[in-house]
Amino acid sequence: SGLASNGIIVRTAAGAVEARAVVGGTGITVTNGDGVASNPTVALTVATQAQAEAGAINTMAMTPLRTAQAIAAAIAAGAAQAGSAILSAISGLASSGIIVRTAAGAVEARAVVGGTGITVTNGTGVAGDPTVALTIATQAEAEAGTISTKAMTPLRVAQAIAAANASALTANGYTKLPGGVILQWGKVVVGQTSNGLLTSVTFPIAFPTAVRQVLCCLEAPAAGYAGAPVVYTKSATATEAVFVHAEADPGIENVNVIWFAIGN
């Protein structure tokens, strides 16, 4: 009852009040801030079109309209970004592919290309994401060890090692040694005539390069064997050897010949 000022009554302490008014800060306009003449109204302080286009005032708000007007004015005045040479080059590019800047204002269409041991799918990116992968050797290529343009995997390495050290430990078998040396062995029954009988034997595996030597000997004959047999190697290739059993008595029985071949 003792308040003399007009305005919005605000309790400031126990038993104390003051008359207040809503006041506008930066970018805000307040009408009837004390509420005496009407309801207090708070609104944006909106820049005029001229102020928006000038772009010099920092105490007023911009609306979408004022923003559009400012942009239009800037474009008309030449203040917008000038035409870009690089954008013009891109728009004029006729080839499809990955766009690469090659010089100021110049572009080219490129593609990811696979080099030695690399396979690229969709290198231009046109049909899908460029995919880069190793070109993996086949098992045969890994075991041959002659190609230098493909990659090996743990599986291919294991296969190559297994092939390099392969063996067949049987009566007629073979084993591969480091460095490419191959040993082969076996036993064959060789008949005979007075002129000698030829018996060919196919090796368990072919020597990749060549046979180097073939040895043979007579297996111990059965008790009571009375002949004087002679066995020897007549010829040999990478795939087979030919043995001869000669004996003075043409009626003598067949003999077992043990042979051993080395090659690579």
Domains within the chain, CATH numbers bracketed = 8-76 (no CATH), 133-164 (no CATH), 167-263 (2.60.40.3940)
pLDDT reported for residue 27: 86
pLDDT reported for residue 84: 79
Helix (H), strand (E), coil (C) string for 104-124: CCEEEEECCCCCCCEEEECCC
Compute the distance between CA of residue 205 and CA of residue 39 in angstroms, rounded to an integer: 108
pLDDT reported for residue 190: 78
pLDDT tens readout for residues 6-61: 888 888 888 888 888 889 888 888 899 888 899 889 898 999 999 999 999 999 99
Distance of CA 203 to CAs 20, 57, 168, 236, Å?
115, 99, 12, 10
| 101 alpha-carbon distance from chain centroid | 26
Residue type, 106: A
Structure tokens at 140: 């045969």
CB atoms within 10 A of CB 124: 17
pTM: 0.45
pLDDT reported for residue 250: 57
Of 166, 136, 141, nearest to 154 (Cα)? 136
Residue found by looking up tokens 């006729």 in the block: 94
Query: What is the enclosing helix (H) or strand (E) of 174?
Result: strand 173-176
Average pLDDT over residues 198-225: 85
pLDDT tens readout for residues 118-151: 999 999 999 999 999 999 999 999 988 899 999 9
Residues 6+ apart with CB under 8 A from 40: 8, 21, 22, 30, 31, 32, 33, 34
Length of the chain: 264
3-state SS, residue 153: coil
CA dihedral (185, 189, 192, 197) in degrees, to 10, reads -50
